[in-house]
Amino acid sequence: MRSLQERLSYFWRDAGLLELALSHRSWANQQRGRAHNERLEFLGDAVLDLILADHLFRRFPLLDEGGLSQLRSQLVCVDALHHAAVRVELWRYLRVGRGEERVRGAPRVLADAMEAVVGSAFMDGQIIAAARVAHASGIIPHELSEEVLR
């Protein structure tokens, strides 16, 4: 997990949160009801919306609400989140159930896990931690990211 944390530019104080973010439902079901990452995915989605809304609002002062919403939706979509997950090699750490290895690299599964990782960073280190993860993973393109980490 250390190499993943290095890629994400954030080291969790509670490593259990990161492990939970990387626990697919199929794995949890085979572990007799252990928790899975879907609640963290929900949180991560909302946190990413906030981080990006704040960033885009400040970065593009002349863009109207429609333009800001369209730009944000391009940055927080399955394709963009999947690309970010691949960039940090998230599939290597994702826990899936036996017989479910084929889902490990599925775009939707990786996108959901990436949101869960952001949610876990938020739970561990609040908004600055989540922003660092979003920046380091490429969810926020580097040319858009200077103000986010301030």
Tens of each residue's pLDDT in the chain, 150 residues: 899 999 999 999 999 999 999 999 999 999 987 999 999 999 999 999 999 999 899 999 999 999 999 999 999 999 999 999 999 999 999 999 988 888 888 999 999 999 999 999 999 999 999 999 999 999 988 766 444 333
Residue 143 is assigned to a structural domain of this protein = yes
Residue 49 is assigned to a structural domain of this protein = yes
Token pair listed for 102: 């084929």
Q: What is the domain range of residue 50?
A: 2-10+38-149
The number of CA neighbours under 13 Å toward the Cβ of 9 is: 12
Residue 24 is assigned to a structural domain of this protein = no
| Selection from 26, 45, 10, 58 nearest residue 119 by Cα | 45
User: Sign of dihedral through CA atoms 86, 74, 58, 39?
Assistant: negative
Residue 74 is assigned to a structural domain of this protein = yes
Residue of 41, 112, 115, 124 marked active site? 115
Residue 130 is assigned to a structural domain of this protein = yes
Residue 63 is assigned to a structural domain of this protein = yes
| Selection from 89, 68, 74 nearest residue 5 by Cα | 89
Residue 25 is assigned to a structural domain of this protein = no
- Active-site residue, 115 included: yes
- Active-site residue, 45 included: yes
Residue of 38, 45, 54, 100 marked active site? 45
Q: What angle do CA 84, 7, 124 make, to 5 degrees?
A: 90
The number of CA neighbours under 13 Å toward the Cβ of 91 is: 17
Residue 33 is assigned to a structural domain of this protein = no
Q: pTM for this one? A: 0.92
In the chain, the number of structural domains is 1
Whichever domain contains 93, its CATH number is: 1.10.1520.10
